Amino acid sequence: MPNFKLTPQQIASYKEDGYVIVKNFLTQQEVTKLYSVATGGDTMKNHAFDLNDQSGKKTKLALWYTPGNDTCGLLTKSERMVHSVDQLMDGGTAVCHFHSKLMQKEPRVGGAWEWHQDYGYWYKNEFLLPNQMTSVMIAITEANKANGCLQVIKGTHKMGRIEHGFAGEQIGASQHYVDLALKTMELIYVELQPGDALYFHPNLLHRSEANLSEKPRWSLISVYNRSGNVPYNEPSQSSTVPLTAVADEALLQLEANDLQASANFLKKENDQALK
Ligand X SMILES: O=C(O)CCC(=O)C(=O)O
Indicate which single residue of 100, 147, 156, 219 sits in contact with ligand X (rule: CB under 6 A): 219
Tell me which residues in 17-76 interact with ligand X (CB under 6 A): none
Quick note: the x/- pattern for ligand X over 131-150, rule CB under 6 A, is -----------------x-x
- Is 33 within 8 Å of 71 (Cβ atoms)? yes
**Whose Cβ is closer to ligand X: residue 77's or residue 217's?**
217
CA distance 144 to 166: 27
CB of 150 to ligand X, least distance (A): 5
**Whose Cβ is closer to ligand X: residue 79's or residue 134's?**
134
CB of 92 to ligand X, least distance (A): 27
Q: Is 113 in the site for ligand X (CB under 6 A)?
A: yes
- Identity of the residue numbered 202: P
**Whose Cβ is closer to ligand X: residue 147's or residue 240's?**
147
- Is 113 within 8 Å of 177 (Cβ atoms)? no
CA distance 130 to 152: 17
**Cα torsion through 150, 166, 237, 245, rounded to 10:** 10
Q: Is 229 in the site for ligand X (CB under 6 A)?
A: no
Q: Is the dihedral of CA 156, 160, 163, 164 positive or negative?
A: positive
Sequence-distant (6+) residues with CB within 8 A of 15 are none
Q: Is 208 in the site for ligand X (CB under 6 A)?
A: yes
Indicate which single residue of 80, 164, 206, 226 sits in contact with ligand X (rule: CB under 6 A): 206
CB of 210 to ligand X, least distance (A): 9
**Whose Cβ is closer to ligand X: residue 93's or residue 144's?**
144
* DSSP-derived secondary structure letter, 263: G
CA distance 88 to 203: 14
CB of 213 to ligand X, least distance (A): 13
CB of 151 to ligand X, least distance (A): 9
E strand or H helix at 182: helix 175-184
- Residue of this chain nearest to ligand X (CB atom): 208
- Is 185 within 8 Å of 153 (Cβ atoms)? yes
**Whose Cβ is closer to ligand X: residue 208's or residue 240's?**
208
Binding-residue total with ligand X (CB under 6 A): 9
CB of 211 to ligand X, least distance (A): 8
**Whose Cβ is closer to ligand X: residue 80's or residue 116's?**
116
By three-state DSSP, how is residue 204 classified? coil
CB of 136 to ligand X, least distance (A): 11
- Is 268 within 8 Å of 62 (Cβ atoms)? no
E strand or H helix at 97: strand 95-105
Q: Tell me which residues touch ligand X (CB under 6 A).
A: 103, 113, 118, 148, 150, 206, 208, 219, 221
